[in-house]
Amino acid sequence: MVEVSGLERVFSRPKSLLPVVTHYCPGCGHGITHRLVAEVIDELGIRERTVGVAPVGCAVLLYKYLDVDMYEAAHGRAPAIATGCKRVHPDLVVFTYQGDGDFAAIGTAESVHAAVRGERITTIFINNAIYGMTGGQMAPTTLVGQKTTTTPMGRMVERAGYPIRMSEMLATLDGAAYIARVAVSSAKYVVQAKRAIRRAFETQLKGLGYSMVEVLSHCPTDWHMTPLDATLWVEETMMKVFPLGEFKVPKELV
């Protein structure tokens, strides 16, 4: 890259992020979140001892985008795989990156019990209220009334129940040390999200227990919205059901 003399370079690709084009749809929140994770890994200086576990879902190809050792897991089983790795190599920094189907439906038992054990791993949980990869079906976090390909009349509570709030649920567990919900819909929220992701990794580095950051993410394709409308829907509709905030912060980080 050409450096212009006299100008300071203030923005570049994180070293932990590979210089490749991703498969994500335009306007998707995954790319932003990937970048935040990579920035945090770089800033903490842990790239050579970080291990990622990719989910089944839109982020299944995460291993193509991050320059760290990685597993690609079965649907929902990432926390169990991360557990196996962490128990063999306690000095590694192990994180899972999972969507709402992976983390909050098919893998709920693995998610909850990783937190119950206080497993020293970190989860980045992407909640976009829909199943992206399979084409827009209902997620466990789909809002009441939200239309998906399997709730064509909108999610009806009599038939499909209510959206699950994983952050609030996991925060009740003694083994969960750091739990936060963030968004990546605008610059302000992206800055907050990065801070939360950093604190989650710091929680693991200090050996304080399980850490999880729930990221409200936008899916313009399966929500059938423009990217701009999708970010507004996160802020005006999703946040009412999934309020942002740090639900649990270890005293060592305060």
Partner 1 sequence: MEKKFMNGNEAIAEAAVQAGCRYFFGYPITPQNEIPEYMSKRMPEVGGVYLQAESEVAAIYMVFGAAGAGGRVMTSSSSPGISLKQEGISYIAAAELPCLIVNIMRGGPGLGGIQPSQSDYFQATKGGGHGDYHLLVLAPSTVQEAVELTMDAFDLADKYRNPVMLLGDGYIGQMMEPVVFEKKPSPILPAKDWTITGAKGRKANLVKTLNLDPVILEQHNLKIQHKLQEMARNEVRVEHYLTDDAEVIIAAYGTVARIAKTAIQILRKKGVRAGLIRPITLYPFPYKAFEDIASRVKKILVAEMSLGQMVEDVKLGVCGRAHVRFYGRTGGMVPSYEELVMETERLVKEAL
Site residues, partner 1 (CB under 8 A): 47-51, 53-54, 60, 63, 66-74, 77, 80-89, 92, 109-110, 112-113, 116-117
> Of the two residues 115 and 244, which places its CB atom closer to partner 1 in the complex?
115
Least distance (Å) from partner 1 to the CB of residue 33?
19
CB 80 within 8 A of CB 53: no
Least distance (Å) from partner 1 to the CB of residue 37?
15
Least distance (Å) from partner 1 to the CB of residue 79?
8
Q: What angle, rounded to 10 degrees, do the helices at 108-116 and 78-88 form?
A: 40
Convert 65-116 into a string of H (helix), E (strand) and C (coil).
CECCEEEECCCCCHHHHHHHHHHHCCCCEEEEEEEHHHHHHHCHHHHHHHHH
Strands 50-54 and 69-72: parallel
Residues 55, 75: Cα–Cα separation, whole Å = 6
> Of the two residues 42 and 229, which places its CB atom closer to partner 1 in the complex?
42
DSSP letters along 186-241, please? SHHHHHHHHHHHHHHHHHHHTT--EEEEEEE---HHHHT--HHHHHHHIIIIIHHH
> Of the two residues 51 and 196, which places its CB atom closer to partner 1 in the complex?
51
Amino acid found at 26? P
Least distance (Å) from partner 1 to the CB of residue 182?
27
> Of the two residues 23 and 188, which places its CB atom closer to partner 1 in the complex?
23
Least distance (Å) from partner 1 to the CB of residue 197?
19
> Of the two residues 201 and 223, which places its CB atom closer to partner 1 in the complex?
201
Residues 81, 252: Cα–Cα separation, whole Å = 27
> Of the two residues 18 and 208, which places its CB atom closer to partner 1 in the complex?
18
Least distance (Å) from partner 1 to the CB of residue 46?
9
Tokens representing 12 are 């570049």
